[in-house]
Amino acid sequence: MSIVVTGATGHLGRLVVEGLLEKVPADRITAVVRDTAKAADLADRGVRLHVADYNRPETLPGAFAAGDKVLLISGSEVGQRVPQHQAVIDAAKEAGVALLAYTSILGGPAADFSLADEHKVTEQAITGSGLPYVLLRNGWYNENYTDNLATVLEHGAVVGAAGEGRVASAARADYAAAAVAVLTGEGHEGKAYELSGDTAWGFAEYAEVVARQSGKEIVYGAVSAAEYQSILTGAGVPEPLAVILSDVEAAIARGRLDATPGELSRLTGRPTTPIADSVAAALKG
């Protein structure tokens, strides 16, 4: 039996593999990757590599075997993810895996913003497949915001259309640790975990945190959804993605990403990473 991680060279996938290496022998881990060069360091540590592409279903056979536990990390190509994920589900079912875990989105079927649509369809495909499954409904990453600190510092503003909405985010490493706990633990079959940070924060608070830690004057520039979309497209974001991101801001304003059920910290056995800690790490570079 292996533990198989798809998308293993992505930001989340690498953290999951690193966490697994702390708990199980390397030869029990399979990293599904598109480019072996990007995973050479993992191979050097004894991790098995399988080259496959979500867009090429014929590359997936051999990635999974009967009894494996599999983590399907959602694809990054919005609009293409349903067939990509279906290809993995089909291959996992054909192989007879023991567990299929999927990185879904906070709220699951109740999520009412467009970014959730492909996740909801994927969840239906998984639950209808007959495979033992776990749904890891990940909330927002701290890094969604701290990765853009250079722009915030340049303009002296956190700009968004979320109004007074709040976000219960956590560090990507926290979500990776939850996946590791599920993949190495027992009794998770059939569960859907709503994963988010222990506390929710607002964007004015976030601006204050960045200001305090950077020593620069940072304000929260609240704009309308239409203005936010225009700002994004003006910065070179493709319009379809700008529409999706603007829709997410509206969802935050409606309180869709502020839930704090505590399931993430319970799975990992530790508090989630505060946004202030991620800001500090990002500022250190």
Domain range list for the chain: 3-138, 142-168+198-258+274-283
Question: Percent of the chain having pLDDT more than 90?
Answer: 98
121 vs 83: CA distance, rounded Å: 10
CA distances for 161 relative to 45, 135, 213, 235, angstroms: 45, 29, 24, 16
The pTM for the full model equals 0.96
Model pLDDT for residues 141-183, shown as the tens digit of each residue: 999 999 999 999 999 999 999 999 999 999 999 999 999 999 9
Fold of the CATH domain 3-138: Rossmann fold (3.40.50)
Q: What is the CATH number of domain 142-168+198-258+274-283?
A: 3.90.25.10
- Who wins on pLDDT, 89 or 285? 89
Reported as a single tens digit per residue, the pLDDT across 257-272 is 999 999 999 999 999 9
* Cα 107 to the center of its chain, rounded Å: 14
C-beta separation of 116 from 137 below 8 A:
no
Three-point CA angle 213, 207, 204, nearest 5°:
145
Nearest to 71 by CA among 125, 137, 6: 6
Count of alpha carbons within 13 angstroms of residue 40, beta-carbon side = 2
194-246: pLDDT as tens digits: 999 999 999 999 999 999 999 999 999 999 999 999 999 999 999 999 999 99
Instruction: Report how far apart, in Å, the C-alpha atoms of 27 and of each of 77, 150, 224, 250, 280 are.
Output: 30, 40, 51, 45, 36
